Structure 1
Amino acid sequence: MSVNLRKLEYSPTVNPLIEPQAIKVQRRYVRTRSSHDLLDPKTGEISGVATIHIVEERDDAEFVKVFADGVKAAFGLTLTGSRVFQAVLDVYQNTAMRGGYAESVELFWFDGKLDGRALDMSEKTFQRGLKELLEKGFLYPRAPSSYWVNPALFFKGDRVAFVKEYVRRRSDDDREQREAVQVDHEEA
């Protein structure tokens, strides 16, 4: 769509941008929305939120990589933890589903390979990454070499949304006032 500045349609009484918008930008959609309906359950304060939602299409390989990179960033995985997560995610993708997801994975390390696939890492390095995934709640031991998976972090769906919320830092006076309101709510 090309805008002609000499032939603009004006809206002198109503701002049409108040309504949610969806704009196609190359291989993605960008949606915007503004609201005042986010309630802080601790203080009862209602906050205004501006939302910019970007939807991008990716092929299968790109999708799995974007998903793994997003999880890595969200959970602060080390390089080793991230590499092992990617390897376990690959095993998970080939695991049969029950009830909409695969509830566990079998991780067989043999002859320097995970389930027959070379990872270019030692068994000790794999174990360090596996330990990190266990500590951060990605996996839980089910039996030797079998692990329950966290279904929020391992899935075979076709969509993922990473939500990052930015909150404006408040002054010390605002913080003290919010804490006083919180105490009042707890006492009531």
Structure 2
Amino acid sequence: MSLKTSINLRKLEYSPTINPLVEPQQVTTKRRYVRSGRSEELINTATGEVVGVAAIHQIEEKDDAEFVKVFAAGAAAAYELGKTAHRVFQVILEEYQRTPMSKGYADHVNLFWFGNGIEGRDVGMSEKTFQRGLKELLEKKFLSPKGPTAFWTNPALFFKGDRVLFIKEYRRRVTSVEQQNRDELEKHRLSEVTQ
């Protein structure tokens, strides 16, 4: 259903026995495509329990420059990068996009600094600032040294695809009583399995 659909509250189609919203829904807004539904595909690996999850999935199109910025911002937020590391990550992503692919992917990026930036291109920061951000990216496993000016890239964080999916899951905090009950159930389940 789009936002432009006019709903007449006096002429609603009722569904007294079946909830039509149980099935996944989708809505197109001005700039996004939004889907919602329940997913029961997540499995707790410790218990084997299938966990149902309510999901809201948005799809938004971006041009190349916006895509790199959104991706960098999402990864920076997820990994809690500092402001400098976030800026450096965006510079490195832009350089990675220029890196030629071999066998369908690029597994490293060259970061040769001279003049005012990478390969002489001004990146809007000093070499010291760049190095400070680079250190944080190395600490948080975005990159790994390959050589003096070459770095292996984490394939989950560097890619040349045309889509990215950020998943942020919220869980209710478990009280200590609930955790004790879960622990006891798990102990009981394990003892039954070993017998």
Query: 2:40 and 2:122 mapped to 1: Cα distance?
Result: 51
- Alpha-carbon distance, 1:14 to partner: 0.9
Change (3 A) 1:185 1:7: same
1:58 corresponds to which of 46, 51, 62: 62
Q: Which residue of 1 aligns with 2:51?
A: 47
- Alpha-carbon distance, 1:88 to partner: 0.6
| Counterpart residue type for residue 50 of structure 2 | I
Q: Which residue of 2 aligns with 1:160?
A: 164
- 1:1-188 matches, cutoff 5 A: 1-184=5-188, 188=194
- Alpha-carbon distance, 1:87 to partner: 0.8
Number of equivalent positions: 188
Aligned residue for 1:31, secondary structure, equals strand
Query: 1:154 and 1:183 mapped to 2: Cα distance?
Result: 42
CA contact (8 A) 1:103 1:148 kept: yes
Gaps spanning 5+ residues in structure 2: where?
A: none
CA contact (8 A) 1:35 1:49 kept: yes
Gaps spanning 5+ residues in structure 1: where?
A: none
Change (3 A) 1:145 1:20: same
- Alpha-carbon distance, 1:2 to partner: 1.2
Taking only the aligned residue pairs, the percentage that are identical comes to 57
CA contact (8 A) 1:43 1:181 kept: no
Cα RMSD, aligned residues only: 1.6
| Counterpart residue type for residue 107 of structure 2 | E
